[in-house]
Amino acid sequence: MIIGKVVGVNGNMVRVEVDGNVRMNEVAYVCVGDKRLKAEVIRIRGKFAELQVFEITRGIGVGDTVEFTGDLLSVRLGPGLLTQIYDGLQNPLPELAEKCGFFLERGIYVDPLNPNTKWDFTPVASAGDVVSAGDTLGTVPEGIFKHRIMVPFNYTGEYKVKSVVSAGSYTVNDVIAEIEDSDGNIYKLTMAFNWPVKVPITAYAERLEPVEPLVTKIRIIDSFFPVARGGTYCIPGPFGAGKTVLQQITSRNAEVDIVIIAACGERAGEVVETLREFPELTDPRTGKSLMERTIIICNTSSMPVAAREASVYTAVTLAEYYRQMGLNCLLLADSTSRWAQAMREMSGRLEEIPGEEAFPAYLESVIASFYERAGLVRLKDGSTGSVTIGGTVSPAGGNFEEPVTQATLKVVGAFHGLSRERSDARKYPAIHPLESWSKYKGVTDVAKTEYARRVLFDGNEVAQMMKVVGEEGTTLDDFVLYLKSDFLDNVYLQQDAFDPVDASVSVERQRHVFDMIFDILSAIFSFETKDEARSFFALLTQRFKDYNVAEWDSPDFKRLEAQIKAMVEEKTAGRDEEAEYILSRKVESHA
């Protein structure tokens, strides 16, 4: 073991004189009295190493001993991760609370996987098989999933299986297989192993382009600003615009297998709400607790800043691990701005040349490397798995031009910009339809969606003009265009998260309803006056809202649909030429 001595302390950065060789991202422990505080090497200069300490550094003094472990900052991978609530260093918080009481003490670290839990192991591999990193040796049931016990990812090359234990109950630390390399060396494998968090897991056959939509059952996202399975997206917005709520709704309804929430520096009150609500939520897929397929990494803004970075990398490593089992994982990071602020603080203590707004010059590359760990992959057995990353950004004052938001926008595939104006008007989700965008394909017809977006843009232009010249200064056609835009916003872009029906909308229903809305947007109406048009759309909006909360394909649903269609047909005098072309082209393609 390499030993060093503290020669300087600056906040949570400790400068150490080392007698020996150490490496970047190596774990070290700073000894303060009877406490050993976990730290990570972040810079090496000659015989001096700078460490970021993951605990409060009170009491550390010059001359204190530092023990270098030789291991990189890692997480423990194996069965038992699901349902857990970890801190940024993968300590189970409920167990920490039992040991420490109300206030968590420094220097206490708990095994992330319970060493006493027995798992029912079923072997898949047998003696004589040739295996490599990521190949399955056996499975254990973990909730509703078959958890694959794999050859650790750091075993490069091919190995021959010498022996595998028979089916039975074993702990994560029991030896379940022995493998032999080409030189005759034998390695004993358990159900669990460590993996460095800052090294992507690449034990798959091929990386694929994400094209299939990740269904969130939120209309404005699935239809207008979709996310791809294995893609990336960001949710920037000012405080109070609904970022955390939107993430929680997504985690509840998205069609994924595993949900990992990384509260990387979010306010403690919002995290407490998440911790209280999730165990009580019912998973719509299984009818059981949503926590059974969820992992929460909890590092609130009141915890040491260095752990924010650790929490982000811990979360993405766990997601990659489950991706190797052929599962689809959704990682929600809230909020990456706090992580960036922690990087800015550490960069200042390292006296690095600052970039824009004092953020480190390498901010963009660090954010890009994080989002690049998302992806859809084909595994060696032909199955596929994915990691989809959605990160919230909290720009000061809702300014999307600040460095963290801009660095994120350069690498993500979809941008869901939340608006203070819309949240104040109680238009939820508060995703701004004129500023947001997506590079992915949604669940509705592309041409129809683009037509609807143009109605939103054109209607907004009329609304801005009306603020200057008044309603009487616009033509009847322009006023109807404005009413169509407002109708689309009210009945499709907004969604009632408290209603059991409207809270999550299936793809089939979204397509059906959007086709009806397209017919309304593209219709040429025969109104005599603006008052008549206003009254018509007010009644139509109310009926459509009732339609949205009616059970799919129920008698109420069919009755309201018939009323809406009759109401529209009565006032329709024709159809827009572009809409006619879109519909005819669709018919031709089907033919």
Q: Which of 248, 238, 416, 429 is closest to 337 using CA atoms?
A: 238
Say whether pLDDT at 586 is over 70.
Answer: no
Per-residue pLDDT at 276: 78
Q: How confident is the model at residue 589 (pLDDT cuts 50, 70, 90)?
A: very low
Q: Which of 111-125, 128-142, 259-273, 525-539 has the lowest mean pLDDT?
A: 259-273
* 174 pLDDT more than 90: yes
pLDDT tens readout for residues 372-410: 999 999 999 999 999 999 999 989 888 899 999 999 999
What is residue 116's predicted lDDT score, i.e. its pLDDT? 95
Tokens 């939820």 locate to: 428
User: HSE (CB half, 13 Å, CA atoms) of 324?
Assistant: 25
pLDDT at 192 over 50: yes
Predicted confidence (pLDDT) at residue 301 exceeds the cutoff of 70: no
What distance in Å separates the CA atoms of residue 426 and residue 337, rounded to the nearest whole number? 25
How far are the Cα atoms of 427, 461, 462, 485, 521 from residue 481, in angstroms, in the given order?
20, 10, 8, 6, 8
Question: DSSP letters of 119-172?
Answer: EEEEE---TT-EE-TT-EEEEEEETTEEEEEE--TT--S-EEEEEEPPSEEE-T
Question: Span 134-162, mean pLDDT?
Answer: 95
What per-residue confidence (pLDDT) applies to 334? 87
pLDDT at 302 over 70: no
Give the CATH number of domain 2-72. Answer: 2.40.10.170
- Whole-prediction pTM value? 0.94
Residue among 538, 565, 561, 563 at smallest CA distance from 550: 561
Reply yes or no on whether the pLDDT at 587 is more than 70.
Answer: no
Mean pLDDT of the chain: 92
Question: Tokens 């949205």 belong to which residue?
Answer: 548
pLDDT, one tens digit per residue, over 12-27 is: 999 999 989 999 999 9
pLDDT of residue 510: 97
Checking if the pLDDT of 590 tops 60, the result is: no
Q: In this predicted structure, what is the pLDDT of residue 268?
A: 62
Residue 300 has pLDDT above 80, yes or no: no
Q: Whole-angstrom Cα distance, residue 336 to residue 392?
A: 6
Q: Residue 420: is its pLDDT beyond 80? A: yes
CATH classification for the domain delimited by 119-191, as one of 2.60.40.10, 2.40.50.100, 3.90.550.10, 3.40.190.10: 2.40.50.100
Helices marked H in 89-214: 93-100
Span 4-13, pLDDT tens digits: 999 999 989 9
pLDDT tens digits along 476-512: 999 999 999 999 999 999 999 889 999 999 999 999 9
For 558-579, what is the mean pLDDT? 92
Please give the pLDDT value at position 171: 97
Domain ranges of the chain: 2-72, 81-112+205-210+238-436, 119-191, 446-590
pLDDT surpassing 80 at residue 279: no
Classify domain 81-112+205-210+238-436 by CATH architecture.
Answer: 3-Layer(aba) Sandwich (3.40)
- Strand 145-150 and strand 175-180: pairing? unpaired
Confidence (pLDDT) at 269: 65
pLDDT of 295 strictly over 90: yes
What mean pLDDT do residues 145-172 have? 96
Measured CA angle at 493 (ends 273, 445), to 5 deg: 125
* Residue 377 contacts residue 207 (beta carbons within 8 Å): yes
Give the pLDDT mean for 431-459. 95
User: Is domain 446-590 given the CATH code 1.10.1140.10 in the classification?
Assistant: yes
State what percent of residues in the chain have pLDDT above 90. Answer: 80
Instruction: Report the candidate in 10, 15, 73 with the shortest Cα–Cα distance to residue 43.
Output: 15
Which H or E run contains 42?
strand 35-45
| Sequence ranges of the binding site for ATP | 237-244
State the Cα–Cα distance between residues 449 and 447, nearest whole angstrom. Answer: 5
Handedness of CA 444, 446, 447, 452 (dihedral sign): positive
Give the pair of three-digit tokens for residue 566.
């009759």
Q: Mean pLDDT lowest for which of 283-297, 306-320, 400-414?
A: 283-297
> Quick check: 299 pLDDT over 50?
yes
Q: What average pLDDT does this structure show over 182-195? A: 95
Q: What is the pLDDT of residues 211-257, one digit of tens each?
A: 999 999 999 999 999 999 999 999 999 888 888 889 888 988 999 99
Is pLDDT above 50 for 588?
Answer: no
Q: Regarding predicted confidence, which is higher, 587 or 493?
A: 493
The pLDDT of residue 345 is above 70: yes
Q: How far apart are CA 285 and CA 107, in angstroms?
A: 40
- How large is the angle between the packed helices 268-277 and 243-253, nearest 10 degrees? 20
Per-residue pLDDT for 80 more than 90? Answer: yes
Of the ranges 192-196, 469-473, 580-584, the best mean pLDDT one: 192-196
Q: Do domains 2-72 and 119-191 have the same CATH topology?
A: no
Model confidence at 274: pLDDT above 90: no
Which residues are part of a known binding site? 237-244
CB 161 within 8 A of CB 181: no
